[in-house]
Chain A
Amino acid sequence: MAQKFVSSRSLETLEREELVGKVRSLLAEADALSSRISAVNEIGVAINRELNLNKIVATVGRQAKWLLDFDHLSICLRDEETRDWQVRVLYGEPISPVDDWTQTETLGKVLLTNQPLLLKDGTSATFLADYPSQIMIPLTTDGKSLGAIVFACKTASKYNTDDMRIAYILSLQLSPAIRNAQVLHQLERTQQELKLRVEELDAYSHTIAHDLKSPLTSVMLSGEIVLMKYADVLPQDAVESINLMRDSASQMSSMVDQLLMLARLQDLDEMITTVNVRYTVDRAVARFAPIIEEKNVTLQIADKLPDVLGHAQWVEEIFANYISNAIKYMGADNFSPCIKVYSSDELIGDGFIRYNVQDNGVGISAEAQEKLFEMFTRLHTVKAEGLGLGLSIVKRIMGRLNGRLGVESTPGKGSTFWFALPIADKRK
């Protein structure tokens, strides 16, 4: 009787032990799985911090070994330039190159179908022929195929569906990271190319403008020489023709100067210094001496013209442009044309001073004012000279010197063109 009791008790214990054993092993499995998932997340965090493709794949190579214990890890991505599939080995022996990966039995199929692959007992494919256990997971983003990640082991039946799931979760982290890295790299390359192009164009236009000056000089001087020698004996229309040629050459010369000025503005070697404004005004005015006299323009230049921080030649250019505009918009029936040049501190921030060139000409409508500083704008009433770049060059100069500019005008009453630059502090 006692024996029977013992055996039934043993049976229960046995069953209970079995159960406990099973539960323990299931818990252990769940635990292992959850650790692996955490590890995948950690890898995910690590690679999402990176924007460099090489660093991303290196991180995966290092940290995934724990997850899937592979003998071989490689990643298949498109080559940036050729757009061909390339396989990069991240761990394990090197592989023999293949011309067209889409032709391979295993990887090719994964690339073409975007379906994952799990192998346990080897493959007839030549790629990774020595590795019976393989997991290949396609990498996709937004429906686009980026490539695939390949895990392989020399032991058979190494991987099961759980391993494949882990690899899949890893691929979900990897794909966007790779995509971002690729996009960023492409952007950087485009930026570099653009920069080189701009530099090329700048150098090109600078050289052409520079070289044009010689033939221009020949044309202009020859015109002058012919007139100096033969104006007395030439018929009037011949003289006229020659003067037309000289005018055109003069226009071309202005355009060339504007192009060169634009080129100089890009040049980072040009330095910002203290500018003697009085001197620049005098020089700018001197350029227009003949026409100022011809049109009987009264010029009033203020005594107080404080020095500013800028670039002497460019400040001179601004004054020349403003004075040129003032002369142009004088109006045919203006009997006492007048241009005033003076400084003021109206509405200007701390440490800045404003310079004004005011005329009593025809004025500019609000509508036209808006387009004034844009490139290639010419107001209909005025005969154009040069490329129409004048005021847009002024705008660029002020951009380069970190100053401000503007115009105030009332049609019929005249205009005031102004610009503002930092005062040059003599104490500094």
Chain B
Amino acid sequence: MVAEYTAIVVDDDDTLGTVFKMGLELLGFTAHHVSDSRTAITEIERLQSDLIVLDMNMPHVTGKEVLQQIREHESLAAAKVIIVTANARAAEELEQTNLADLVLVKPVTMSQIKDMASRLIGIE
């Protein structure tokens, strides 16, 4: 796996954010972690990430709002977004909206991340 793909994890939970980052790095991504949802969109744009892992449950700017911002941004049209949520019901509703490329319900496993990475980005 070549480290030519970048991923960014947006999660206010520092521990979980770090763990996701480590998992993505293990799969070959150059990964970053943003814990403040307010600066998320700036960071995502700056890094021009191929993959965005977004936690729904965040204070200040919610996951849903960040998602909207991403979709409204022209330069990020090609970015693949994976939503991570603890709420199964919200996951169902989100799947209907088609705003995310993939919705995962916590707890998430490495095989799920690996699976989605290969599906969305085509690596490995």
Instruction: List A residues at the B interface (Cβ < 8 Å).
Output: 210-211, 213-218, 220-222, 224-225, 228-229, 249, 253, 260, 264, 313
Contact = CB atoms under 8 A, between A and B. Distances in A.
B3 interface: no
Given A217-B106, A229-B26, A260 B20 contact: no
B107 A216 contact: yes
Nearest to B13: A214
Contacts of B15: 214-215, 218
B107 A220 contact: yes
25 contacts: A210-B86, A210-B87, A213-B86, A214-B15, A214-B57, A214-B86, A214-B106, A216-B107, A217-B106, A217-B107, A218-B13, A218-B15, A218-B19, A221-B20, A221-B108, A221-B109, A221-B110, A222-B19, A224-B23, A224-B110, A225-B19, A225-B110, A228-B110, A249-B107, A264-B89
Contacts of A249: 107
Interface in B21-42: 22-23, 26
B88 interface: yes
B78 interface: no
Contacts of A253: 107
A379 B108 CA distance: 31
A213 B107 contact: yes
- The 5 A-B residue pairs with the shortest CB-CB distance in the complex, in nearest-first order: A213-B86, A213-B106, A217-B107, A224-B110, A217-B106
Given A213-B106, A224-B110, A228-B110, A218 B86 contact: no
Interface of B: 13, 15-16, 19-20, 22-23, 26, 57, 86-89, 106-110
Nearest to A211: B86
A313 B95 CA distance: 15
Contacts of B87: 210
A218 B109 CA distance: 10
Contacts of A264: 89
B102 to A, nearest CB: 16
B88 A217 contact: no
Contacts of A210: 86-87
Contacts of B86: 210-211, 213-214
A228 B26 CA distance: 8
Nearest to B105: A213
A227 to B, nearest CB: 9
A117 B64 CA distance: 74
B22 A225 contact: yes
Nearest to B55: A214
Contacts of A224: 23, 109-110
A218 B106 CA distance: 10
Interface centre among B86, B87, B108 (most CB of A within 10 A): B86
Interface centre among B22, B87, B88, B106 (most CB of A within 10 A): B106
Contacts of B20: 221
Contacts of B19: 217-218, 221-222, 225
Given A214-B57, A217-B107, 18 more contacts: A210-B86, A213-B106, A214-B13, A214-B15, A214-B86, A215-B16, A217-B16, A218-B15, A218-B19, A220-B109, A221-B19, A221-B110, A225-B22, A225-B23, A225-B26, A228-B26, A249-B107, A313-B88
Nearest to A257: B88
A386 to B, nearest CB: 14
Nearest to A220: B107
Interface centre among A210, A217, A218 (most CB of B within 10 A): A217
B88 A260 contact: yes
B13 to A, nearest CB: 5
Nearest to A217: B107
B109 to A, nearest CB: 7
A365 B117 CA distance: 49
Contacts of B110: 221, 224-225, 228
A28 B110 CA distance: 101
A215 B108 CA distance: 11
A40 B57 CA distance: 67
Nearest to B17: A218
Contacts of A214: 13, 15-16, 57, 86, 106
Contacts of A228: 26, 110
Contacts of A220: 107, 109
A220 B107 CA distance: 8
A228 B113 CA distance: 13
A228 B1 CA distance: 15
Interface centre among B87, B106, B107 (most CB of A within 10 A): B107
Contacts of B26: 225, 228-229
A217 B20 CA distance: 9
A175 to B, nearest CB: 54
A204 to B, nearest CB: 16
